[in-house]
Chain A
Amino acid sequence: MRRFLLITTALVYSHCILAQDVKTGEDESTVVLDNLNLGIDAGDASVTFKVNSLSLDKKEKNGSYKGKKLFWGLTAEGKNNEGVASIFSSSQIVPASRVTGMLGFSWVDDVYVDSLATVYETNVFEADDKYNKEFKLLTATLVVEIETIISDSVDALIGRENANLGALNKLKSLATDDNRVGLSPVEKLLKEMVEDTSLDNSTRLLSAQLLKSLFTRNPEYKRFMELDKLKKKAISDYDVKVGENYGRSTFFIHYSNSAVSYNTFLGWDSTNLANSFKSNTFRGISMGIGFNRDWKGKNFLGFKYTYEETNNLAALRTTDYVVRTNNVAANQTGTTEIKKTAYPNQFQNVFLHNIDLDVLQKFDFDDKYRVLVDYYVRINASTDNEKLPSFATVGVSSSFYNAKKGRFIGGVYVEVPDLNQDIERSKPRDQQELEPLYRRLSFGIYTKFSFTGLSDDLL
């Protein structure tokens, strides 16, 4: 019931779901994306909080572009083998958790930054030059004309009874002021006078006529405005035309701490069966480096190396045990029942060299849907094949998004876990169950509920 309620709640909040995660079958992609979200993975019974400062590149209106950035990232993950709903239960302790810190540097190709500047020059500066050249012609004739008309009109009105001398003199002195830069202060004052209800109607009417005749009918002024528009259009075009040479590289180091609580079965203790179990906590660290490459915002390469201290729990099978104690008093019997899920007492620490490789491609369909296809390889090279054999996994996953709103719709994956069947081969020969490749193909569907409030549209 709890699980049902949780998923229902997630669906209610689906209007704010954004998915910044690209998932592979069991794992996540090595490509670092802008992130700030809380994700609930129903299939994996885990809750993840992710944040990083790798915001998207912003082009500024004056053509400058910040192509380099130092960034940090933090991921906290809690996982529960009992199911996702019980993570939120106050009486349960999350049995597995991991905190990962990341520090990296991301930079955009110089070619792209230079091409931005070139596009900016050819569009904006050319429009600007044109604007300035025609502007020179304008000043010679139009401005003198405007100054004369304003001055004469004001003089004619000043002679009238009840004239607003203060406002009219202000207009005249501004129109003839040598230190006035451009016509916009005059235009601004005329607009203010039109709207000023404290002025008499004659003054306001004159202001309106001057505005109309001088600033809208005058063909030179119109041209002036056209050039202004041309300049603004050049700036907006510049924003559109810059995607072709885009390339971005990201380098990062990462460090994480993980903890897992588990029970081991020591063998039945004949004096007290309840003592047959031992509670343990494993704490491990992992660290490594990673590299991402982005071509044109469409193709991505992700590489990550991790040296990991882990355990062989994944290779061990759990068994459910029940210890019943009968208490007899008078003619009555009471039963106490303790349930335990425990691993055999064969726990060992293992050190791994993990190499993760992803190639991502982005496809758009009708500007409505976007698909991220991730071809991935995961190599887990063990330092001690006796404790935990090395193995490799390959797969392809596809994540589907609503492109306009950036919503994650869902994903599918096809995977071959343990490509060479190394884990199987590590068993005694009579227990091995080797199977051909096509029979080991694993298919899956994944969903992840992500609650985001602060992040921009990534997709």
Chain B
Amino acid sequence: MIGLLRAEWLKQRSIWSPLLLLACMVGLVVLIVALHGKTVSVRALSGESGQFEIAGQGERLGILFGALLGAMSMTTEFRHGTIRPLLLATPNRGCVLLAKILVAVLIGGVFGLVAAAVSTAVADVALSTRSIAILLTQSDVTSLWVGSAVGAALWAGIGVGLGAAARNQAAIMVALCTWLLFIEGVLFEAFGVGKGGWFLPGSLAREAIGQDSAALLAPGPAMLLLCLYVVVVAAVGWIALSRRDVA
């Protein structure tokens, strides 16, 4: 298992994809937070919830890119055929999947942390340039960073499981973007908090940062529930990986 973890870590370090993803994420976080900071009214940004909203934009992108990273770590093996030599070296597919999840969770956590840090910094600059007093406390920022890191890490695990289950890289990436950016928002609006909207995986990641805790789950239970999602998706991925032939 240690060898597999080292192999996965080396794979992530020896190609540019993770760094490109990280760069794209940082660029998008800067763009979106800066636009929000410029366009949202001063009145909306003067309250603590408004400021939390703008600083939390990075977390949304953190979990998206964490999920993409996780999915790519698995689907790249199928896309480039490296799954064949990998499974010849290690026929135990469960161990292969577990190693990929653990490494993706680690790197996904870094993605979430970077996204939150960049988002907070840009929000701080945007608010300052408009002479808006910053109301977020150190505790808010810590909660934002930790929640963002955990949310992105767990979504990276979900991405690996989805990649193992579906294998098609383009389809998985489109599905993840569509779900996290559009579908889940629509479902959340449709169901609302009281009708189970809080149970959606993207919402759980939002709840992990402690935003609007009166209406949603507290960060702790939200993280545990998100862990359950990871376990379920990983189990589906493991079954698919074990039972389906490798072409």
A-B interaction: no
Binding site for B on A (CB under 8 A): none
Binding site for A on B (CB under 8 A): none
